[in-house]
Structure 1
Amino acid sequence: MTNDNRTSPTDAVQAWTGMVPVDDTALAVTDTGGPGIPVVYLNGQFATQGYWRRVIDELGPGRRHITYDERARGKKSKRSADYSFEAAVRDVDAVLAARGVDRALVVGWSYGAVVGAHWAQRNPERAVGAVLVDGAAPYDWLDDAMEVRIRKLFRRIGWLAPLLRPTGLTPRMSAEEQADSNIELGKLSRERELGPVLDGITVPVRYVLASGTSFGSKGDEQEKIRAGLDQVFERNSNIRLGAKVPSNHGAILKKDFRAIADSVREVAALGSPSA
């Protein structure tokens, strides 16, 4: 996809809401407009753009905020034959191209943090930096037993999804498609897979980490996963811990939006001092 109406980072852009075609689908996109380097928000695996409301309100109208719902998520984004991770990374470029954006600061939560890490590593000339919220921690948490557990979980809650779909709170994906996506995430999160991606990032990155559990986790599983970042911080001076907050994985955008906003401000200053 190409767009000839690209804007300078200092241009004030008009607000826009609409659908962006990509591959066999279309994504619901919201661009607040405004001046400065755009901040692009990448959602959790089955979450929607509405989750970022408090972070955006905290950062204020003086920045340009771009949010979107991934394939089959939310109320408007269309279904697809491809829900792979690579499709999710392509969608970042499709949204940026549609909105005429050359350089952006990416902010990703959970699954979106992994997407953001890959996009920043692959596009050093276009990435101002990244804020990764309780995700993208290299750790070998997926084994055969975990894969079975994931499939059982999504089958067990599958009956609820059709009831909530009209609200946009659950994706228009089958239980099997959701499980496949989660299992693919586990494979991508392995140290041998994600470690080199993080080591190759050359732009400023700040992590904001939650505490405690997430949906489907048990005991201290999540804290063990987060501990895998310690070596990443040691190996790559571009990557730092922005904050460790008390809320858990599911509540971090709601309760610790100020810490996330602080890291966005820091990365924006480091990555583009004139923005």
Structure 2
Amino acid sequence: MTHTKWTGMLPVDDTALAVTDTGGPGTPVLYLNGHTATQGYWRHVIAELGTEWRHITYDMRARGKSKRSADYSFETNVRDVDAVLAARGVERALLVGWSYGAFVAAHWASRNPARTVGAILVDGAQPYDWLTEAIEQRIRKLFRRMSPLLPLLRPTGLTPRMSAEQIADSNIEVGKIARERELGPVLDNITVPTRYVVASGASLGSKGDEQELIRASLTQVVERNPNIKISAKVPSNHGAILRKDFRAIADAVREVAALDRGGSPR
């Protein structure tokens, strides 16, 4: 069945999400953005996969072209996946999430196995207790310092239409969700093919080898759950991975989709 291409605003709760659906008859792939990123970040992955796939992207609340909301919680972002898929008439999708979006993808796949072809987690959703009181204060200090720049950067799409305090709160919430006792059971519960594509080096706000320590937690994840594997460890850092190592992400998508069809990767 061929689906028509569509781009528009999807009303959800007190907001509206900017959604793009390329249409076509192929496997639906839903892309979940990084914390402050927009759907345009996926253009290299989408171009690499080509037109045989049905690509669905959207901007999270207050990001990109989407409208503001009174609720930016993680649970709301998980529920927005349901809203987007329902609006586009998609019963089963392959989820690809980067950074913050990887946490959303992992939670949604864990809760909705019958509706999930599989999940690709790009340098995110790694269970590690990295949030300390000192790091929480560092996050708040970072975004307080950035506060004067946020209004200047918003027209470029580089920052969300959220206050510095709201952005900091959301980052801190991710630190709580990432704790081993919180995220570990979520990952253990995943029953669909799931692949990690892991970056190298640091990310915004991290210091020294903090990111590599977090990534090392995946060793135990894949040992506990045979449905989860590390597809690739790539040389680019966290911020550049979608731009520089898009082929590794596309390869992981092909691998998981082939497993759903019972075949070998194309």
Scaled by the length of structure 1, what TM-score is found?
A: 0.95
Q: Which runs of 5+ in 2 are unaligned?
A: none
For residue 262 of structure 1, what is the aligned residue in structure 2?
Answer: 251
Query: Percent of aligned positions with the same letter in both sequences?
Result: 77
Matched, 1:213 2:197: no
* Corresponding residue of 2:189: 200
CA contact (8 A) 1:203 1:238 kept: yes
- Check if 1:155 corresponds to 2:152: no
- Residue 220 of structure 2 is matched in structure 1 by 231
Q: Is the CA contact (8 Å cut-off) linking 1:128 and 1:272 kept in structure 2?
A: no
Runs of 4+ in 1 over 3 A off after TM superposition: 272-275
Match of 1:41 in 2: 31
List alignment gaps of at least 5 residues for structure 1. Answer: 1-10
Cα offset, 1:271, TM superposition: 2.3
For residues 21-100 of structure 1, the aligned pairs below 5 Å read: 21-74=11-64, 76-100=65-89
3-state SS in 1 of match to 2:41: helix
Q: Find the aligned partners of 2:23 and 2:156 in 1 and give their Cα distance.
A: 26
Shift of 1:230: 0.4
Give the TM-score of the pair, scaled to structure 2. Answer: 0.98
CA RMSD of aligned residues (A): 1.0
Alignment partners' CA distance in 2, 1:272 and 1:82? 38
**Contact between 1:136 and 1:194, CA under 8 Å: does it hold in 2?**
yes
- For 1:132 and 1:267, the matched residues in 2 are separated by 12
- 8 A Cα contact 1:203 1:271, kept in partner: no
Aligned residue for 1:237, secondary structure, equals coil
Aligned residue pairs, count: 264
**Could you tell me which residue of structure 2 aligns to residue 113 of structure 1?**
102
Q: Which amino acid aligns with 1:203?
A: V
TM-fit CA distance, 1:266: 0.3
- Alpha-carbon deviation of 1:47? 0.4
Partner AA of 1:28 in structure 2: A
The amino acid across from 1:49 in the alignment is: Q
Report if the CA contact (8 A) 1:138-1:195 is conserved: yes
